Structure 1
Amino acid sequence: MGGAALDLIVSEIAELSRGVRSFTLRDPLGRSLPSFAPGSSIAVQLGGGGRNSYSLTGSGRRPDHYSISVRLDDAGRGGSRWMHGLSVGDEVAVSAPSSAFPPVLSARHHLLIAGGIGVTPILSHARAAAEWGRSFDVVYAYGEGGGAHRDELERLSGGRMTVCGSRAALQAHLASALLDQPLGAHLYVCGPVAMIGAVQAAARAAGWPESRIHAEAFTPPTLDPGEPFEARLLGLGRTIRVDSGVTLLDALLAENVPVPNLCRQGVCGECRVAVRAPSGSRRADARGPAGIDHRDSFLTDEEKDRGDCLMPCVSRPRGETLELEL
């Protein structure tokens, strides 16, 4: 895990909506936990040896507990099923909080947009904005059976929340809402990848600069499985094979090569590794001069153009080999 591991116990479990449960985690000795910025997450060590990242929904100022909410995903890797199998009193190991989705404190106004279980970091932002008296509005879109944390968001927002029950309703609301914002406002969106893309496109069309649009996906996009390749670990003097459909990160971890990681979606930047230019490229492509298929949303365009690093959780080379500074 990135940072010092914390051994906590489950002190409370609540059913929030269909398939969504909240978990309250506390130190067994009642000690305070590390503070965190809005939009932060913790990685929970799962029983099968993996780990999942979950957004913290409580207050980050001198917390005596951590709160996370988990949607049961039958199509996932089993992490949510393991979490939903926990009981009060069970022990869990978590990482220290890390933030890849913080608010911009100098923003004149915060427009917070949540889709489904993407409400969790948005709730954290709304809580902090209410605590500090910052200007904000909330837009919450969810389908039938959803609405986790709706009551709390309504209370925090003081009537400044709009609920959308469909994608069409969200698009219709944003058509005017994105134009009716004060100069210096910042937009934050979390939800499914398709929803985030639609919100970002609408914001750009409304004239929002990229520097004021912030996003975090809670479900990874469906990626091309890619071609198999060999990863040469220059420092270790080893070569490992990465098959089609297997991420470079998973291949490295399976070979007991330690790589810090958290979100596994190309968002947080935790697993960034340095590379040398791959050889044997199968095709020319405009997506990166070093033959890397950058699929993350963390690196800047300039960093991708340099071609000296990649996020192994999602990105791959276009050629048959990749040399890593590991």
Structure 2
Amino acid sequence: MSTTRSQERCPFRSPRDLFHDFVEVRGQDGLVYSKELHGWVLSRYDDIIQVLDQPDLFSSRPTVPDPPPQAQEMFRDKVPLRGTLIGIDNPDHDRLKLSVSSFFVPRRLQRFEPLIRKLANELIDEFVNLGTVNIKLHFALPLPLKTIAAVGLAFFGGHPDLATGSHEEKLQALFDLHAHCAELIQMRRDDRRDDLIMVMTDFKHLSMLPGLMLAGHETTTNLLSMGLAHLLHTGTYEKAQEDDASRAAALEELFRFESAITGMPRLVTKECTLAGQPLHEGDHLFVAYNSGSRDEKYFPRGDNLELHRMTTKQHLGFGRGVHACLGAPLARLLLRTELSVIKERLTDLRFVTPYSELEYLPIGEGRGLENLQVGWDLSQVTAKPLPQATTTRAWVSKVAKDIICFTLRAPSSEELPPWTPGSHIDIQVGELGWRQYSLCSSSSNNESWEISVLLESHGSGGSAFLHSTAFEGTDFLTRGPRNHFPLAEADQYIFIAGGIGITPIRLMLHDVKERGSQHHVYYLGSNRDSMAFVNEIEQLGTNATIHSSAELGRLDLSFLSKVDAATTKIYCCGPPQLNSAVEAICSTLPVGVLRVEKFVNDVILGSNMVNRLVEVKLARSGMVILVPPEKSILEVLNEQGAGIISTCQKGTCGTCEVQVLEGIPEHRDTVLTKEEKAQNRSMMVCVSRCMGSSLLLDF
């Protein structure tokens, strides 16, 4: 260990004095060694960035200590030895993170906001009439756990408490938990659901689960309780709660002001010099995120809470680089929703325990309050709002062999949420969870939805459940609609529908017919008896080709490669073999001509692309900026005060997504799907650039 006696004194003993200690350490030359933090303390922003941007030189392995040799033998093939993602170095780290990063794109996570709101209201219902509560214990703590369960880690329910019992009981509980998780990962290969486990595929994914629990639970719990305390103490609570935009801005400043992560350890892998301090292989560092985010060099008045702070630098509240917090987008959504529900339900929120008497947890990697007791005005307690899911009542009809059409209406004759061609809804299928089905009725009718469900004998059970409950008047819970298969403007359309893939195409046909657009549909099936709405499609006359493979063999679709790409859009929905065949035929057509409805995300990482000078125009301000090769679009935009959030700055988290109005992005991220990249409607400005010379962004 490279240390000297004179450098060993660093207080870091009193949680209340933590930020005062950081101010003193930042003011000293070189690095300061702390016994309390078990390493050389990196307190300045520049030093922290230097370490986080060199994961090969500064390893994250000490974040999760290696188990003792006897435990390693016991864990073998049962529990991953590296117990969480933050303690895994490359190449495994990037492989595991990239496999799930697409799930955490903020735009995609937004579908869980109604569910989080429902869970938050249910918790508040339990104490709203009391007038006072320990809001950390009864709200900030259980809500992240419930959210994690709902979003995709529900398998933790019903398993033994790992923190109780004898050593042997804890160990067995750990084995049981991981065995259960491994079984669910295996099941998701066949049983597709709208959850996180669906994108996990192997044993090493088990190493991600503790980290996801921490990111979504402990840190979020502490962020809410500390954030509420600071807002109430500084008199900025009402200002922060004006609307969703003010809540989002306030949260970013709270993440900067006091993150739930004090810092993280790193291990030096070879000799180097940092801030003038010689370091040797095996030396330990403590990377103090909370100190870097208050560094006066980049955050003037850093010890003040300023809700509308403008800065060109990203705070370190969720870390940075390859080990940036994977769950940050979910934490942002959860916290923003929590604040909104608290504002709606708990009027005139105030301290019960004075701010000066609040106690912090001992100093360590995490940061949080012990408890937070608050009160509110009982005379203005508000009623519980509407639930997040819509109850719909079904009318059923058989439309083909093994295919039932469900007409869904709200029981109270309310109007259903609007939808567009290509949309789908989620429908609850008992204890199996939720399944997605395309809407196939006219979008001009806002009183009912139609979905058609094929009974799949070797499916995951969702279609069997719906077929077995297909009775007039049956009630279902539904969510949505959402649209990942939108119908774009074109002079003429070609539709390829295979089997049950006719469902989204049917609605598109209604739309283009009403518009008077030229169109032709090729409807493929094994035989007419198995083809839903075949008579209806046949009535299109010369605009439809009905093809039964049992009678006519395989349809030759090679003509698709010769369509007029300037005027034609091709839409395809069907089984994987059909989708793949159509993609192969259309591979020579310009990007965007073909759209395929499928559920696979193709990840492309353009790590070897050459940077060029890019001209970026901002539609809202009219500003034109030049992005030099050595800088990202994100950097230059934020230098102009854009304030775009980016947690990873590597194209893996999706937080910096910006809408593209003109120009073709050179996509280098790993979160947008192949189809989304082909649409060129948005880009991740932390890594992506431009195929041409300029871009027009909606900013």
Note the C-alpha offset of 1:171.
Answer: 4.2
Alignment-derived partner of residue 466 in structure 2:
83
Alignment-derived partner of residue 217 in structure 1:
598
* 1:161-217 alpha-carbon deviations (Å, 9 max, x no partner): 112223985542x22355355741000000111111101111225xx2121110002
Alignment-derived partner of residue 520 in structure 2:
137
Note the C-alpha offset of 1:94.
Answer: 0.5
Note the C-alpha offset of 1:58.
Answer: 0.4
The answer to whether the aligner puts 1:202 opposite 2:585 as a matched pair is yes
Q: Give the number of the structure whose residues are more often helix, by fraction.
A: 2
- Matched residue type, 1:85: S
The answer to whether the aligner puts 1:46 opposite 2:435 as a matched pair is no
Normalized against structure 1, the TM-score is what? 0.64
Alignment-derived partner of residue 248 in structure 1:
none
Which deviates more from structure 2 when the two are superposed, residues 180-189 or residues 127-136?
A: 180-189
- Matched residue type, 1:211: G
Q: Determine which of 474, 488, 497 is the counterpart of 1:104.
A: 488
CA contact (8 A) 2:427 2:477 kept: yes
CA distance in 2, matches of 1:307, 1:154: 48
- Matched residue type, 2:596: A
- Matched residue type, 2:532: A
Note the C-alpha offset of 1:76.
Answer: 1.3
CA contact (8 A) 2:432 2:461 kept: no
Instruction: Give the number of aligned pairs.
Output: 239
Alignment-derived partner of residue 127 in structure 1:
510
CA distance in 1, matches of 2:674, 2:553: 27
Alignment-derived partner of residue 152 in structure 1:
536
* 1:60-107 alpha-carbon deviations (Å, 9 max, x no partner): 1242100000001121111001111121111101012110101112x1
Partner SS for 1:113: strand
Alignment of 1:153-232 (within 5 A): 153-155=537-539, 157-166=540-549, 169-172=553-556, 174-176=557-559, 178-179=561-562, 181=564, 183-205=566-588, 208-217=589-598
Note the C-alpha offset of 1:131.
Answer: 1.8
Alignment-derived partner of residue 501 in structure 2:
118
CA distance in 2, matches of 1:35, 1:170: 38
CA distance in 2, matches of 1:88, 1:162: 34
Q: Determine which of 286, 300, 303 is the counterpart of 2:677.
A: 300
CA contact (8 A) 2:560 2:586 kept: no
CA contact (8 A) 1:141 1:170 kept: no
CA contact (8 A) 1:109 1:182 kept: no
- Matched residue type, 2:592: S
- Matched residue type, 1:5: A
CA distance in 2, matches of 1:65, 1:48: 25
Q: 1:298 to 1:212 in 2, by over 3 A?
A: closer
Q: Determine which of 465, 477, 483 is the counterpart of 1:93.
A: 477
Q: Determine which of 415, 424, 446 is the counterpart of 1:63.
A: 446
Note the C-alpha offset of 1:113.
Answer: 0.5
Partner SS for 2:513: helix
* 1:216-237 alpha-carbon deviations (Å, 9 max, x no partner): 027x69xxxxxxxxxxxxxxxx
Partner SS for 2:571: strand
CA distance in 2, matches of 1:186, 1:169: 26
Partner SS for 1:30: coil
Q: Unaligned 5+ residue runs, structure 1?
A: 222-273, 278-288, 309-326
CA distance in 2, matches of 1:85, 1:59: 26
Note the C-alpha offset of 1:137.
Answer: 0.7
The answer to whether the aligner puts 1:25 opposite 2:402 as a matched pair is no
CA distance in 1, matches of 2:456, 2:513: 31
CA distance in 2, matches of 1:17, 1:209: 37
Which deviates more from structure 2 when the two are superposed, residues 162-171 or residues 69-78?
A: 162-171
Alignment of 1:264-279 (within 5 A): none
Partner SS for 2:486: coil
* 1:20-40 alpha-carbon deviations (Å, 9 max, x no partner): 110000011112212111010
Q: Give the number of the structure whose residues are more often strand, by fraction.
A: 1
CA distance in 1, matches of 2:421, 2:566: 23
Note the C-alpha offset of 1:295.
Answer: 11
CA distance in 2, matches of 1:5, 1:307: 37
CA contact (8 A) 2:396 2:405 kept: yes
CA distance in 2, matches of 1:65, 1:96: 13
CA distance in 2, matches of 1:159, 1:97: 32
Partner SS for 1:48: helix
Partner SS for 1:211: coil
Partner SS for 1:103: coil
Q: 1:275 to 1:165 in 2, by over 3 A?
A: farther
* 1:235-269 alpha-carbon deviations (Å, 9 max, x no partner): xxxxxxxxxxxxxxxxxxxxxxxxxxxxxxxxxxx
Alignment-derived partner of residue 393 in structure 2:
9
CA distance in 1, matches of 2:519, 2:554: 18
Normalized against structure 2, the TM-score is what? 0.31
CA distance in 2, matches of 1:40, 1:146: 23
Q: Unaligned 5+ residue runs, structure 2?
A: 1-110, 115-387, 602-646, 651-667, 689-699
* Structure of greater Rg: 2
CA distance in 2, matches of 1:142, 1:307: 43
CA distance in 1, matches of 2:459, 2:649: 33
CA distance in 2, matches of 1:33, 1:158: 33
CA contact (8 A) 2:423 2:484 kept: yes
The alignment's C-alpha RMSD in Å is: 3.3
CA distance in 1, matches of 2:514, 2:543: 15
CA distance in 1, matches of 2:649, 2:573: 33
- Matched residue type, 1:199: V
Partner SS for 1:89: coil
Q: 1:159 to 1:31 in 2, by over 3 A?
A: farther
